[in-house]
Structure 1
Amino acid sequence: MASNKISKNTIIIGAGPIGIACALECRKNNIDYLVIEKGALTNSIFNYPLNMHFFSTSEKLELDNIPFISKNPKPDRNEALEYYRRVATSNELEINLFETVIDIQKEAENFSVKTNKASYISSHVIIATGFYDIPALLKVPGEELPKVTHYYKEAHPYVMQKVAVVGASNSAVDAALEIYRKGGDVTMIVRGKEIGERVKYWVRPDIINRIEEGSIKAFFSSEILKIEPLQITIKTPDGIKKIKNDAVVALTGYRPNFDFLKSSGIEISEENKIPKYNPQTMESNVSGLYLAGVICGGTETHKWFIENSRIHAKMIIEDLKK
């Protein structure tokens, strides 16, 4: 092995809940591992809206039977950050934060992993990078304007502003309701005919009622055509409309980094961009390279989440021990 490369049995890319779960399994099985994360610990959860509540109950977010105690029926962002932080620190997990993996290449029986800080060599690599880093763009003129964002943190900047919220998913609905209740003038632009069916069951009636009473305006079967500093142009079933606008919160979804997967040698289907892997072991078409978590779903990001992909960690470690 090259002397200038750090040697590890297993490199885990991504320090979200599933990456942490993989690290816990490695630790229990005395496997020499390292987690590499380009941002903060559980970076995606850190970037969630400040007041976000999970769809799942706390026990379904637990890792390795470590209790997750929440004061709410559905835990919030801060509780999740505290839980996963405690799991990582109390178990003294080997995690390098704010280090970006640039390249993974299979070299004979090992992997060469290059980051912006170091080079590594390992027998196995687990990719658990999620999907939250690359937003699905509107691809319309004006999307690059400062008033446009694809992430929502809190309502305060939108008080007394005319805000267009694009989308009808959980994140879009939460943002629309919170901005409205904090004093923003909210208009929703929805490509579909109604609010998404997968919106949290205790929130969906709320947004529908606010729209029906006129507190929140909504254009269904509609899309933005152009964004300008003082207005947006939208296409609706009733024709083209221009409406005054101060800010656009485009919450139209996110996607995994498919280019990164392809450059690592992973095959991706044309339909839904699902990477090739063995569902029994989570090993990709590249021997020794595993996938874990939501990244396994391609563009179908609603199919995998923490509670149903925690098991990936055990499946992977059991296989790579063989």
Structure 2
Amino acid sequence: PTREQYLEYLNKVSSRLGLVVKQHSKVVGLTSNDKDHLVHYTKKRGKIGEACAPNIVVASGGYYAPQLLGIPGEDQPNVYHYFRSELPFHNERVLVVGGRNSAIEAVNTLVEKKAEVIHSYRGARLPRKKIKPWLLPKFDKARKRGLIRTFYRTVPRSIHNKQVKLKSDGKKNMTIDVDRVFLLTGYGPDYATLKSASVPFHKRNQRPLFNPRTLETKKSGIFLCGTIVLKWQGEKASIDNTRGHGKIILNNLR
């Protein structure tokens, strides 16, 4: 499914189950006492709301925070770390950096929206086995039709207004003119909430310690769910292999 189809599915599930979803709010802290946990979250106009419960399930995902490149200009207003399909792309020159699912799906959408697409990837070729198979046919077809300009073995060095400097492996560096830039170069989990609750972390890999049989962290009553665990049963955590997390947690609530 595409990003839009997945979001539509989540909305339908939420409506069918009658879930109470506090939109336009963000968790900014999690504190605990001997019995309960207190979630602090932002409300409209900057006010702080609170919710108290004996059990907290953290399911913020393994792709919450973008992996920044640390280059000049990546914080410009025309530079994005998440794809935004609602933007006007028709006849715009757009650079997409990255070679995994997010980048390839963004390229496909940009082609459909009649943008002039430029694609940069650091590898000599795409890691096709790590890309969702239904994304590749559209991408390959668009490349053959000349709708995508791809520069392999290149990485951005700087962004200044509407110019991007790409460092090329073994060739001269190049400067390209663009209207927008999508740096879709990977993401990681946000552990700030867990750290605010004093959840113990592994000293070596800085990941939260949890019991794989119950998904409860070393902080009683706080559970991890979904891809935030990063690895599950010896494999990279994904939507597919973490579907059973909900049942595991339900069976181990306090």
Q: Same fold (TM over 0.5)?
A: yes
1:154 maps to what in 2? 85
Q: For 1:135-146, what aligned pairs fall within 5 Å after superposition? A: 135-146=66-77
Deviation at 1:181, TM superposition (A): 4.0
2:182 maps to what in 1? 249
Deviation at 1:286, TM superposition (A): 1.0
Q: For 1:56-95, what aligned pairs fall within 5 Å after superposition? A: 77-78=4-5, 80-95=6-21
Q: Which of 151, 159, 168 does residue 236 from structure 1 map onto?
A: 168
Alpha-carbon distance in 2 for matches of 1:213, 1:270? 50
Query: Secondary structure in 2 aligned to 1:309?
Result: coil
Q: Does 1:277 align with 2:210?
A: yes
Deviation at 1:305, TM superposition (A): 3.0
- Identity among equivalent pairs (%): 30
Alpha-carbon distance in 1 for matches of 2:38, 2:162? 50
Alignment-mate amino acid for residue 279 of structure 1: P
Q: Which of 202, 210, 219 does residue 286 from structure 1 map onto?
A: 219
Deviation at 1:266, TM superposition (A): 2.4
Q: Is contact 1:155–1:175 with CA below 8 Å preserved after alignment? A: no
Q: Is contact 2:27–2:193 with CA below 8 Å preserved after alignment? A: no
Deviation at 1:124, TM superposition (A): 1.6
Query: Secondary structure in 2 aligned to 1:319?
Result: coil
Q: Is contact 1:164–1:187 with CA below 8 Å preserved after alignment? A: yes
Alignment-mate amino acid for residue 310 of structure 1: R
1:310 maps to what in 2? 243
Deviation at 1:256, TM superposition (A): 1.5
1:171 maps to what in 2? 102
Alpha-carbon distance in 1 for matches of 2:11, 2:18? 10
Deviation at 1:161, TM superposition (A): 2.2
Query: Secondary structure in 2 aligned to 1:232?
Result: strand
Alpha-carbon distance in 1 for matches of 2:141, 2:25? 45
Q: Which of 30, 42, 57 does residue 126 from structure 1 map onto?
A: 57
For the structure 1 residues 91 and 279, does the alpha-carbon distance in structure 2 shift closer, same or farther, using more than 3 Å as the test? same
Alignment-mate amino acid for residue 34 of structure 2: A
Alpha-carbon distance in 2 for matches of 1:193, 1:256? 28
Alignment-mate amino acid for residue 153 of structure 2: S
Query: Secondary structure in 1 aligned to 2:198?
Result: coil
Deviation at 1:132, TM superposition (A): 4.4
2:118 maps to what in 1? 187
Deviation at 1:175, TM superposition (A): 1.7
Q: CA RMSD in A?
A: 2.6
Q: Does 1:112 align with 2:38?
A: yes
For the structure 1 residues 242 and 261, does the alpha-carbon distance in structure 2 shift closer, same or farther, using more than 3 Å as the test? same
Q: Is contact 1:162–1:246 with CA below 8 Å preserved after alignment? A: yes
Q: Does 1:100 align with 2:31?
A: no
Q: Which runs of 5+ in 1 are unaligned?
A: 1-52, 55-75
CA offsets 1:285-316 (integer angstroms, 9 cap, x no match): 11211100111117xxx932333222111111
CA offsets 1:125-168 (integer angstroms, 9 cap, x no match): 11111244422222211112222112223386222222211001
Alignment-mate amino acid for residue 136 of structure 2: R
CA offsets 1:40-94 (integer angstroms, 9 cap, x no match): xxxxxxxxxxxxx34xxxxxxxxxxxxxxxxxxxxx724x444433433333334
Q: Is contact 1:188–1:217 with CA below 8 Å preserved after alignment? A: yes
Alpha-carbon distance in 1 for matches of 2:145, 2:205? 37
Q: Which runs of 5+ in 2 are unaligned?
A: 43-47
CA offsets 1:251-284 (integer angstroms, 9 cap, x no match): 1122221222222222334666432111110001
1:64 maps to what in 2? none
Q: Does 1:225 align with 2:152?
A: no
Q: TM-score, normalised by structure 2?
A: 0.83
Alpha-carbon distance in 1 for matches of 2:122, 2:159? 16
Q: Is contact 2:62–2:229 with CA below 8 Å preserved after alignment? A: no
Q: TM-score, normalised by structure 1?
A: 0.67
Q: Which of 271, 295, 298 does residue 228 from structure 2 map onto?
A: 295
Query: Secondary structure in 1 aligned to 2:199?
Result: coil
Q: Does 1:262 align with 2:195?
A: yes
Alpha-carbon distance in 1 for matches of 2:236, 2:149? 30
2:45 maps to what in 1? none
Alpha-carbon distance in 2 for matches of 1:265, 1:125? 14
